[in-house]
Amino acid sequence: MRDVLTQCRDQFAFYADEHRKAGKVEKAETNERFRALADRALSQPGGGGDMGDFQSAVGAWMVEVFGEQIAMDPLERIMRFLEEALELAQAEGMTATEVGRVVDYVYGRPVGETFQEVGGVLVTLAAFCFRREVDLKAAALTEFDRIDSPEMRKRIFDKQAFKRAQGLTSDGGFRAEGGAA
Ligand SMILES: [Mg+2]
């Protein structure tokens, strides 16, 4: 992810320069703005000023901890998200049976579209945080700070191996075997 950002930044810088030389002020300014955005995302791991920076910083962290293959596997990413969503439901006192009733309801309805469902996830999470008086942004930055130490990076990497042994990772035969655990 960092490599992609670096590549983007360098390309925007190149085109900003080219447009400037050609006298295309507006295009040069647009590219300069994008260059600055990429630069900011690169220089603020974890302490980003907006969601884009946070997303980039998490992406860079993930690739560094797990390596490109696991980090960029969509099944792996959605499994880890589901795990955290269920942990939140559990922390709020929902039982496995109650979760199962929600699963039956969702899977009995038409399949949604990824972009819109991501929006739904964040809107409902913000609504939950509003009701429970949890600062969503503070929670996100606190958690990212917690997992970003060298010791935690190693622990999280090791935990991944444990999950793999349980058949609960995308490269641990989760889909092929329907789960070993
Ligand atoms: Mg958790």
pLDDT per residue as tens digits for the range 16-43: 888 899 998 888 887 787 777 677 666 6
27 in any annotated domain: no
Stretch among 67-71, 127-131, 163-167 having the lowest mean pLDDT: 163-167
The answer to whether residue 143 sits within a structural domain is yes
Beta-carbon neighbours within 5 Å of ion ligand 1: 87
Average pLDDT, the chain: 86
Residue 83 CA to ligand 1 center (angstroms) comes to 7
Residues 149-168 have a mean pLDDT of 87
**172, 166 in Cβ contact below 8 A?**
yes
The domain in which residue 119 lies consists of: 73-177
Closest CA to 53 of 29, 32, 37, 30: 37
Residue 29 maps to a domain: no
The helix-helix angle for 51-66 and 25-43 (nearest 10°) equals 50
pLDDT the model gives residue 1: 55
In a domain, 134, yes or no: yes
Q: How far is the CA of 116 from the centre of ligand 1 (A)?
A: 24
Task: Note whether residue 130 is domain-resident.
Answer: yes
| Structural domain includes residue 88 | yes
87 Cα–ligand 1 center, Å? 6
Question: Higher pLDDT residue, 93 or 175?
Answer: 93
Q: pLDDT at position 174, please? A: 80
When divided into structural domains, the chain yields a total of 1
One-letter amino acid for residue 6 of the chain: T
Tell me how far the alpha carbon of residue 84 lies from the centroid of ligand 1, in angstroms.
5
The SS3 assignment for 172 reads coil
Q: Is residue 144 in a domain?
A: yes
Is 30 inside any structural domain? no
- DSSP state for residue 178 in the 8-state scheme: T
pLDDT > 60? residue 180: no
